[in-house]
Chains A and B, each alone.
Chain A
Amino acid sequence: MLLEVENLTTLFRTKRGIIRAVDNVSLSLEKGDFISIVGESGCGKSTLAYSIIRLIDSPGEIAGGKIYFDGKELTSLSEEKMRKVRGKEIGMVFQDPMTSLDPLEKIGDQITETLMEHIDVTKKEAWQIAREMLEKVGLPPDRVESYPHQLSGGQRQRVVIAMAVSLNPKLLIADEPTTALDVIVQEKIMDLLNEMRKEGRAIMLITHDFALAAERSDRIAVMYAGWIIEMGDADRLTKEPMHPYTRGLIESVPDVWVDREIKPLPGFPPDLAKPPEGCRFRPRCPLATEKCMKEPPGVDVDGRYVKCWLFEVK
């Protein structure tokens, strides 16, 4: 296994109370895997990603669990060792390409600073690598001389991806990398991620676009209010969702190709400072029963993880 997250819990201690943004989450990834994390806004997807690279700012903290990555346990690693993992072994692409580059530095300077932080190269060599990286993501190499404001959103996101892959990380986490971009650019960026995967990298794509996740990834993990409530093979999970929330989510996605009624999911995700007792999806669940007043167990059904009383193993 390349990445194994075990019972990870990340909290934010806010004035309104303790927010369990990631609650007892486990998942694993192998080399070459492409997993998507989907779920509505605020369910803890980004917090999960930041927890993996240990970039949770106060008032947040990783309160429990273990993260094994390539033979190391990340939650107990020293800050300096963790810094060397960031960028070098785990690359990260952020949601908004307009704000994830430093407006004052040339593209080339931003790429080379990262390179020289991790590998032993001269400035000249680093600039050469930077040019090659831009070419690889489909940008003219002389863009190294540009400043971020001289590039379009799509170009900037390519730069960010170039930066994230320039050190050849084993895992690439992309947190909604295409939300701010138009559909055509989105396709190209996704193709790029796919290529990265073919080179043997594991990809973790965070998105709230179920259709995109179904089309692009091998596996899907569905998050709801800090929990993973269902996880499994992307095709099967899309065709036969088990958890009522997953079903609701899929039915609420407009499908361009198939003429099908869209049923928006009623209600909103709960306030994580005061989550409902028992199953967190209970207030919105059409199939809720008495039992759901207690937290459902996570069970394995034919290689599919599902956290719901409906699938309790007798």
Chain B
Amino acid sequence: MSSLRAYIITRFLMVIPTVIILLTLVFLILRIIPGDPITSMVGQKVPEEVLERLRHEAGLDKPYHIQYIEYLTGVFTGNLGKSMIWGKRPVIAEIMDHFPATLELTIFGFVLSVLLGIITGSIAAFRRGSKTDSGMRIYSIIAYTLFIPWFGMLLQMLFGVYLELLPIGGRITPGNSPETITGLYVLDSILTLNLTSLMDALSHLALPSLTLGIVLSGAYTRLVRNNLIDVLSQDFIRAYRARGVRERKVIFHAMKNAFIPVVTLMGLQFAILLAGAVLTESTFSWPGMGTFLIERIEYRDYTAVQGAIVFYAMFVALISLVVDVIYALLDPRIRY
């Protein structure tokens, strides 16, 4: 077990340089892009002294190395600067307003995609060569190539407009929001035992998370199928059976072995998941980070965009750390 701890600590320490490189890249890219962010935000017709004042407020009149150090210390103390439009609220506060919505959608979409992938992939593997198998493989290819806004709209038409079963946009019916504890409506509804808001939140989540889940499940279906077929033909599976281990347990061991590459894919898919979430959010008017980011890009709210990207980058780094730890917990060959 101590070697597992050593692995986790090493892996954790490796996050630090990764994050610093990411932050540096974001910093450089935003300064290499031609044009002055302030000018592009307010336009060139504005008097020079107003531009100066805005630049000073954003700290953009300082030398680059000072900006860089301030930016890094800011990020590590949770200060991403102030938004440049409207209330000029701290960017971190605005992110925190939108992040729970994205997190909720991502969790549901992610869990759904993995579940769908594992179920369809295992069915295909256990019925290898049959019509069901071909069906699952076609599903995987179609799901993989679906375009999120198009597929989302299709679901909206079917379940929202035609069957009138589910809401087609938004996160909750106004007035139904649960008391805020975590900002995740489903969790908050459960914590406050509010059944009305729970059902309302779930019905709003259904279509966007289904869209995201189905589109992302295609890759898992394929991977689970191929892995499971490979594992099931291995000697140690036959050896389990030859020792009289119950079939249910044999299948469990097979699934566990087939799951390892799936965990790797989860880490890789995570960035795609966030990108997919941006598209899904705009299709379903979901008030999350994607909607926030797109809105602020339109207004050229430079600090908010920078803050959102930094936040995304840190989030991806954190998730890949978590995935690697899960990987090590599953596979002893990694941690020794």
Q: Mask for A94-116, Cβ within 8 A of B = 1, else 0?
A: 11100111111110000001100
B257 and A100 contact, CB distance less than 8 A: no
Chain A residues with CB below 8 A from B236, complex form: 99-103
- Chain A's closest residue to B256 (CB) is A104
Chain A residues with CB below 8 A from B243, complex form: 86-87, 91-92, 114, 117, 163-164
B242 and A53 contact, CB distance less than 8 A: yes
Q: Which of the four size classes fits the interface of chain A? A: 20 to 34
Neighbour of A149 across the interface among B240, B257, B333, CB < 8 A: B333
In this complex, the member of A102, A147, A149 whose beta carbon has the largest number of chain B beta carbons within 10 angstroms is A102
A55 and B235 contact, CB distance less than 8 A: no
**Does A3 make an interface contact (CB < 8 A)?**
no
Q: How far is the CA of A117 from the CA of B246 in the complex (A)?
A: 7
Q: Mask for B311-324, Cβ within 8 A of A = 1, else 0?
A: 00000000000000
A117 and B234 contact, CB distance less than 8 A: no
**Does A88 make an interface contact (CB < 8 A)?**
yes
**Does A85 make an interface contact (CB < 8 A)?**
yes
Residues of A within 8 A of B (CB): 53, 55, 83-88, 91-92, 94-96, 99-106, 113-114, 117-118, 147, 149-150, 160, 163-164
B331 and A104 contact, CB distance less than 8 A: yes
Chain B nearest Cβ from A88, distance in angstroms: 6
- Chain A's closest residue to B260 (CB) is A104
A114 and B245 contact, CB distance less than 8 A: yes
Neighbour of B235 across the interface among A99, A149, A150, CB < 8 A: A99
Q: How far is the CA of A84 from the CA of B243 in the complex (A)?
A: 9
Chain B residues with CB below 8 A from A104, complex form: 253, 256-257, 260, 330-332
Q: How far is the CA of A85 from the CA of B246 in the complex (A)?
A: 12
Q: How far is the CA of A92 from the CA of B244 in the complex (A)?
A: 10
Chain A nearest Cβ from B164, distance in angstroms: 48
207-257 of chain B: CB within 8 A of chain A = 234-236, 238-247, 249, 253, 256-257
B249 and A92 contact, CB distance less than 8 A: no
Q: How far is the CA of A95 from the CA of B238 in the complex (A)?
A: 12
B239 and A101 contact, CB distance less than 8 A: yes
7 more A-B contacts (CB under 8 A) besides A94-B238, A117-B245?
A92-B239, A92-B242, A99-B235, A102-B253, A103-B333, A113-B249, A114-B245
- How many residues on B have C-beta within 8 angstroms of the other chain's C-beta atoms? 23
**Does B336 make an interface contact (CB < 8 A)?**
yes
A147 and B333 contact, CB distance less than 8 A: yes
Q: How far is the CA of A147 from the CA of B331 in the complex (A)?
A: 10
Chain A residues with CB below 8 A from B257, complex form: 102-104
**Which 3 residue pairs across A and B have the least CB separation, nearest first?**
A87-B244, A87-B243, A86-B244
Q: How far is the CA of A149 from the CA of B247 in the complex (A)?
A: 25
A55 and B333 contact, CB distance less than 8 A: no
Q: How far is the CA of A101 from the CA of B243 in the complex (A)?
A: 12
Neighbour of B242 across the interface among A86, A101, A106, A150, CB < 8 A: A86
- Chain B's closest residue to A115 (CB) is B243
Chain B nearest Cβ from A95, distance in angstroms: 8
- Chain B's closest residue to A149 (CB) is B333
Chain A nearest Cβ from B1, distance in angstroms: 10
In this complex, the member of B239, B240, B253, B260 whose beta carbon has the largest number of chain A beta carbons within 10 angstroms is B239
